Amino acid sequence: MKVFGFVLIFLSITYTVFSMELVTEVKYQGFDTEKIDFDDEALGRVTLKDNSNENYSFFIEYVFGDGTDRVDAGQIKIMKNNMDFEIGRNRIGWGSGYNLNPTDIFNDIPVGSAYDPTYVKNGRDSIIGTYYTENSSIQGIYAIKDDSEKDEDYGIKYKTSFSEYDLDAVYIHKGNRSAVWGEEEKDDIIGGDISTSIPDFNYGVWIEAAYYLDKRDLVYIIGIDNYFGEKYRVMFEYLYYGLGEDKKGNYNVSRILAGFPEGKSYLMPSITYEYSEKISVTGYCYINTEDSSYLLGTTISYLYTDHIDINLMPFYAQGKTGSEYGVLGEGFGNIGVSFVMRVVF
């Protein structure tokens, strides 16, 4: 914890001298299943921000805990005329999909994180430049080689809007990368997304797609949602994952246990009920349509105070032997639950 002590002193002095905004978050979390009892974990996050200048912003987020001392994200952003320039450990978020983003290869996000209100993705060391016009923008990203897993990645995105439509078009070069589930070869990707709302019906619709030129594989997600009765949100997404396997005998078990899709075709419905300003409940399902396995999950969120929230997230995985969620059930157990309490001050 020596590194954390040094960083905390630095942040405190900087906060005092420059009157920056300082936010501290403490999170206690646990994850248990039928077969595996994981040790509970307590983590802290310190965020220092400066948004006082209209042409400049700065923030740094430092995470500490048992065996954890790292800068999760940090950025210097310069804004001048019609241009933004960002350098640092950025959280990059391309695409309009809710559960997965085919056009965002910069930050790997496991399936299920969309229903975890406390999930925060890691930053990626990168340089981002954005040029704005009246109704559109062009953004370029260069993500630096990660010695542990990822080679350099880079891409360019054109974003515009017309009538009721938001439209993105992208080109991406994805570098080689290694992980616990094996190697992924570099490729060039073209794609984009389009989103709109259907007037008078309160429906939102989005389509996001990425085509891998070398592999000649397509990944796309189609979604629709609707808010009704002021308390309900119903959402449905369909994912075609061309990079996956069409036979369960070829599944990569390590990839499944790490929380990434391994099949080719998925249905993902969900419904959220806002019981009150403090309590909301979401039920969701991931269905592998080819091997008929599925995962049912629930997220119960309780805002105890303005500074304390509690989240309970049970799940149930079911499928035949060798199927995607059958493998998950065999590895972890069919029933599991995660619990997170977060305090922000």
Digit-coded pLDDT (tens) for 280-323: 999 999 999 999 999 999 999 999 999 999 999 999 999 999 99
Does 52 have pLDDT greater than 90? no
Q: List all residues 6 or more positions away from 163 whose beta carbon is below 8 Å from its beta carbon.
A: none
Q: What is the pTM of this model?
A: 0.89
Contacts of 67 (CB under 8 A, 6+ apart): none
The token pair at 206 is: 């989005």
Residue 273 in contact with residue 232, Cβ under 8 Å?
yes
- Chain centroid to Cα 118, Å, comes to 11
Cβ within 8 Å of residue 223, ≥6 positions away: 96, 97, 98, 204, 205, 206, 207, 235, 236, 237, 238
Answer yes or no: are the C-beta atoms of 47 and 72 closer than 8 Å.
no
Residues 165-180, mean pLDDT to the nearest whole number: 90
**pLDDT at 3 > cutoff 70:** no
Q: pLDDT tens digits, residue range 197-250?
A: 987 778 999 999 999 999 999 999 999 999 887 899 999 999 999 999 988 889
Q: Residue 19's pLDDT is what? A: 63
Residue 192, helix vs strand vs coil: strand
Nearest Cα residue to 175 out of 144, 217, 209, 216: 144
Q: What are phi and psi of 114, to 5 degrees?
A: -60, -25
Helix (H, G, I), strand (E, B) or coil at 6: helix
- The residue behind tokens 């009246």 is 134
Of 66-70, 134-138, 153-157, the least confident = 66-70
> What's the rounded Cα separation, in Å, for the pair 82 and 305?
40
CB-based contact 326:28 (threshold 8 Å): no
Report d(CA 295, CA 314) in Å as an integer: 11
Tokens of 88: 């640092």
Closest listed residue to residue 209, CA positions, set 92, 288, 94, 324: 94
Query: How many other β-carbons are positioned within 10 Å of the β-carbon of residue 274?
Result: 17
Separation between Cα atoms, residue 156 and residue 131, nearest integer Å: 11
**Residue 36, C-beta contacts closer than 8 angstroms, at least 6 positions apart:** 332, 333
Lookup: tokens for 148 = 């542990």
Contact 238, 221 (CB under 8 A): yes
